[in-house]
Amino acid sequence: MGSVSVSLYIAVVFVSVAVISTSIWAIPTTLDGPFKPATVDLDKSFRGHAIDLPDTDPRVQRTVKVWKPEQISLSLSTNHDSVWISWVTGEFQIGNDVKQLDPKRVGSVVRYGRLRFALTNRAVGHSLVYSQLYQFQGLQNYTSGIIHHVRLTGLKPNTLYYYQCGDPSIPATSDVYYFRTMPVSGPRNYPGRIGMVGDLGLTYNTTSTIGHLMTNHPDLVLLLGDASYANLYLTNGTGSDCYSCSFPDSPIHETYQPRWDYWGRFMQALVSKVPMMMIEGNHEIEEQAENQTFAAYRARFAFPSEESGSSSTFYYSFNAGGIHFVMLGGYANYNKSGDQYRWLKKDLDKVDRKVTPWLVATWHPPWYSTYTAHYREAECMRVAMEELLYKYGVDIVFNGHVHAYERSNRVYNYSLDPCGPVHITVGDGGNREKMAITHADEPGNCPEPSTTPDKFMGGFCAFNFTSGPAAGKFCWDRQPDYSAYRESSFGHGILEVKNETHALWTWYRNQDAYGTAGDVIYIVRQPDRCPVEPELMGDFHQPLKDLSSQLLCL
């Protein structure tokens, strides 16, 4: 190589290193904050297209015959050595007179192993059928296919496994699929990429969200509530963007349960290979006869509730490498006297931050959102639980519900606090209710306090602020200090935990090219500044109680 070539090579290498270094150091960190509130103007050209996929779309049609498995999905247990595999056999029924299938008719068997053509291990699980029934004349009832859940145990960490599910005695088995287990829990072990999505639905925007997400190759996906939006349909299949607007005379809030089957078929391409952890949203309530609720949610998903000491599918926890995830129920009793609060306290007591340094909490309705939609709706939950999460040093909170994106500064009790969690709302998955676009701090957009109570839990805690920039008011007059960044666009997020103190958060917008970030930041833990052991918390912090009253729920 000549001297000119060598010089050119060195120059190219130097420039390349400089570009890489610049790109790394250009990413802000939470240590640079708190950041001045920023709002991205609405891209009006991307407002529409929130149209559901029709039942004629090939991606939602049933392609298997008789008892072969469909709607195959994965979810995690509490640790790396266990995984749940779920699927459906048989076709649903809808009409005035439906008869449940017998779950014992088809076995729940998974054959699996580390070699594709040597599935030497075998696990047997359980199956069930659920119904959505109405006592009113003219409404169609529904009964599901047979839903199977099988738990695999004794798995090795960070290992590729192949599996085949179904009933080999019929025979009726699936194709061979694969998944990779989570790394063993430890301060240096983390999943590569964790996808965060909320309020998906099954629209053409949803397909864009999932397409982008799959291109980012997640190792794990968290769905923060509101999956199928089956409750935006009457039982005859007629849908609407606004149920109460279009069907005000319906005797009960009907749902069209086949939308769940369409959704499961569409999602199989992703969740048959990548585990997805679900938490309930308001669109999963789905009231039916005898005041039953959440039937589809409880039946269709496998939850590590029992493994994590929870008595409910509405809240549970699990580890993914050095991260402990707490999945909380915004539509279950969250008061301090309730089972969920007692379970949460017990679960947090057991977390060893030397093993799982990162503590991430999720639930559906956000506490810190500045959009008019659902403004301060979850205030009773915040009043009941925020102090507990703060004392145990929760690092990040993820929510859905509001159909937009928003990232907070570190916040506690509406005040900027270097030891408070970062709250991130990603309820922008693409459902047919369209995006949230108005902010409560803009003139004329502040909702009446009487319109904000938690309708499902029956509580009201959202009073006027008592001091600070919004003293004497229900809404701020400008974008609140705790709100760092907000934008009305559909999309998804990726969390990449790099080590014990740094995690890269990236939000991707559907309208951008693949790989283009809409928002990116390093979230940095400071364990020395913010100790998390509860016994040390007494004198360490004097929380800044400068904004919200601490009245309990009425």
Query: What is the C-alpha separation between 258 and 250, in angstroms, rounded?
Result: 19
Using CA atoms, how far residue 349 sits from 119, 341, 384, 497, in Å, is: 39, 12, 18, 23
Given a contact cutoff of 8 angstroms between Cβ atoms, the answer to whether 276 and 240 are in contact is: no
Given a contact cutoff of 8 angstroms between Cβ atoms, the answer to whether 445 and 390 are in contact is: no
Q: Mean pLDDT by 10-residue block, N- to C-terminus, for the chain (554 residues)?
A: 40 35 69 97 68 95 96 97 98 95 97 96 98 95 98 98 97 97 98 98 96 97 98 95 90 97 98 98 96 97 98 98 98 96 98 98 98 97 98 98 98 97 97 94 96 88 93 97 97 98 97 87 97 53 39 36
Domain residue extents for the chain: 38-61+188-225+314-524
Query: What is the C-alpha separation between 122 and 111, in angstroms, rounded?
Result: 4
Q: Which amino acid, one-letter code, is at 116?
A: R
User: Which of helix, strand or coil describes residue 484?
Assistant: strand
Fold classified for 38-61+188-225+314-524: Purple Acid Phosphatase; chain A, domain 2 (3.60.21)
Whether 374 is catalytic: yes
What are the structure tokens assigned to 338, written together?
A: 């309730």
Per-residue confidence (pLDDT) for residue 45, from 0 to 100? 67
Per-residue confidence (pLDDT) for residue 6, from 0 to 100? 38
Torsion angles phi and psi, residue 159, rounded to 5? -130, 140
Residues in a beta bridge with 507: 493, 519
Instruction: Print burial letters for 307-320: b (CB count within 10 Å at least 16), e (below 16).
Output: bbebebbbbbbbbb
What are the structure tokens assigned to 359, written together?
A: 């503590």
Triad 435, 439, 444: Cα angle to 5°: 120
Query: What is the C-alpha separation between 125 and 431, in angstroms, rounded?
Result: 33
Long-range contacts of 447-451 (CB under 8 A, 24+ apart): 447/372, 447/375, 447/474, 447/475, 449/474
What are the structure tokens assigned to 449, written together?
A: 């306090």
Q: Which residue has the tokens 């072990």?
A: 189
For the whole model, what pTM was predicted? 0.92
Long-range contacts of 382-387 (CB under 8 A, 24+ apart): 382/461, 383/461, 383/550, 383/551, 383/552, 383/553, 384/334, 384/335, 384/336, 384/341, 384/552, 384/553, 385/328, 385/334, 385/341, 385/344, 386/412, 386/413, 387/543
Triad 43, 29, 191: Cα angle to 5°: 90
Query: Three-state SS string across 139-172, please?
Result: CCEEECCEEEEEEECCCCCCCEEEEEEEECCCCE
498 CB burial (10 A radius; 0-12, 13-18, 19+): exposed
89: Cα separation from own chain's centroid: 26
Residues in a beta bridge with 162: 113, 178
Q: Which residue has the tokens 């580390």?
A: 114
Beta strands in 454-498 (DSSP E): 483-487, 491-497
Q: Which amino acid, one-letter code, is at 137?
A: Q
Catalytic-role residue among 374, 403, 439, 492: 374
Torsion angles phi and psi, residue 430, rounded to 5? 125, 20
161: nearest Cα among 9, 283, 257, 272: 272
Query: What is the C-alpha separation between 214 and 198, in angstroms, rounded?
Result: 15
336 CB burial (10 A radius; 0-12, 13-18, 19+): middle
